[in-house]
């Protein structure tokens, strides 16, 4: 029995030794910087004719830092702020916000407005006259989105050649999914997400029907394959899960690399929200960010 246990231990040893250590920012706070501590700054972010609810997590340390624009999904019940805190510890600023019409932000919620709000957020990050401009490097911005926010991130990444890179987590290829689909089925699928019929008002007065009309009107514009070449050689991380969206992520991965781009793919054996793979997701994200040219040294 002892020999058998010893043999099992020896067999297991190489596997344990080969396991990649977690980035420090996943599990530990960085040394405190009393002169330039990290901050959480809530503010109203201008977008078109309104100001939407936003929060900026600033990294510790003097001087401008690279920034991640974090885009939540539909309706935004999970903002993935655990990722924001880990990236902040790693030396990144993180800007998160609620789209127009969602979670108390003024304005009307539409998918089209989500795309516009992301552009407004990028313009704010690049504005040299904002109060936090000295803390933000306008030439080092990554856009990261989950689910519907992944669609917004993909569209943004495929149309903005100033970005450092793009991260798509279980991104919903909304444009491709709605093309040719009956309006009634699209509206029902959206209602299942926004939960109006359960008495919630996650996206204000928007309805499954109004959002279905918006999606159907822009199906071709938001189809990932139509702007895959727009990523150029800028790095793209595509993270998929067991939610049925992986094939569209795989297709985008192939399309980007076939065009000479630089896409990396990771599949995690978990659900749409990565509920039991949060540490694995965070570690993979930080490792990818660490390899970007101009990334901070880390926490």
- Tens-digit pLDDT profile for residues 210-261: 999 999 999 999 999 999 999 999 999 999 999 999 999 999 999 999 999 9
Hey, which residues does 58 pair with through a beta bridge? 39
Kindly tell me if the per-residue pLDDT of 19 is higher than 70.
Answer: no
Tokens 């401009």, residue located: 133
293 CA to centre of own chain: 19
Tokens coding 48: 């078109």
Q: Given this structure, which CATH class describes domain 34-177+224-290?
A: alpha beta
Task: Give the C-alpha separation, 267 to 233, whole Å.
Answer: 22
Task: Give the C-alpha separation, 242 to 271, whole Å.
Answer: 5
Kindly tell me if the per-residue pLDDT of 11 is higher than 70.
Answer: no
**pLDDT class for 195, splitting at 50, 70, 90?**
very high
What pLDDT digit, counting tens, does each position of 129-145 carry?
999 999 999 999 999 99
291-294 — which CB contacts under 8 Å span 24+ positions? 291/235, 292/66, 292/142, 292/164, 292/165, 292/235, 293/164, 294/66, 294/137, 294/140, 294/164
**Closest to 250 measured CA to CA, from 262, 260, 264:** 264
Contact 160, 230 (CB under 8 A): no
Torsion of CA 117, 266, 222, 248, to 10 degrees: -150
Q: Report in angstroms the alpha-carbon separations of 274 from 1, 239, 240.
A: 39, 10, 9
What pLDDT digit, counting tens, does each position of 95-129 carry?
999 999 999 999 999 999 999 999 999 999 999 99
Q: Which pLDDT belongs to residue 1?
A: 40
Beta-carbon-side half-sphere exposure of residue 148 (alpha carbons within 13 Å): 24
Task: Give the C-alpha separation, 89 to 30, whole Å.
Answer: 6
Domain ranges within the chain, ordered by starting residue: 34-177+224-290
């Amino acid at each position: 029995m002892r020999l058998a246990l010893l043999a099992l231990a020896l067999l297991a040893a190489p596997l344990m030794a080969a396991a990649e250590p977690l980035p420090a920012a996943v599990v530990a706070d960085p040394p405190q910087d009393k002169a330039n501590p990290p901050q959480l700054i809530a503010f109203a972010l201008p977008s078109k004719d309104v100001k939407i609810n936003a929060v900026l997590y600033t990294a510790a340390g003097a001087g401008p830092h690279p920034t991640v624009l974090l885009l939540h999904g539909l309706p935004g019940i999970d903002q993935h702020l655990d990722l924001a805190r880990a990236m902040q510890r790693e030396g990144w600023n993180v800007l998160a916000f609620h789209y127009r019409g969602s979670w108390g932000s003024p304005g009307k919620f539409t998918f089209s407005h989500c795309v516009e709000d992301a552009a407004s957020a990028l313009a704010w990050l690049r504005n040299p006259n904002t109060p936090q401009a000295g803390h933000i490097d306008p030439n080092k911005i990554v856009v990261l989105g989950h689910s519907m926010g992944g669609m917004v991130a993909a569209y943004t990444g495929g149309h903005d050649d100033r970005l450092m890179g793009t991260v798509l987590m279980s991104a919903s290829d909304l444009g491709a999914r709605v093309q040719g689909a009956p309006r009634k089925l699209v509206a029902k699928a959206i209602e299942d997400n926004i939960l109006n019929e359960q008495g919630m008002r996650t996206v204000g007065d928007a309805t499954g029907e109004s959002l279905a009309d918006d999606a159907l009107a822009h199906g071709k514009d938001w189809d990932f394959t139509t702007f895959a070449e727009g990523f150029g050689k800028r790095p793209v991380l595509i993270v998929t899960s067991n939610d049925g969206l992986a094939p569209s992520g795989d297709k985008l991965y192939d399309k980007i690399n076939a065009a000479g781009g630089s896409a990396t793919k990771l599949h995690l054996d978990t659900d749409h929200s990565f509920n039991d793979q949060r540490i694995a997701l965070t570690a993979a994200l930080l490792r990818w960010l660490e390899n970007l040219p101009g990334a901070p040294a880390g926490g």
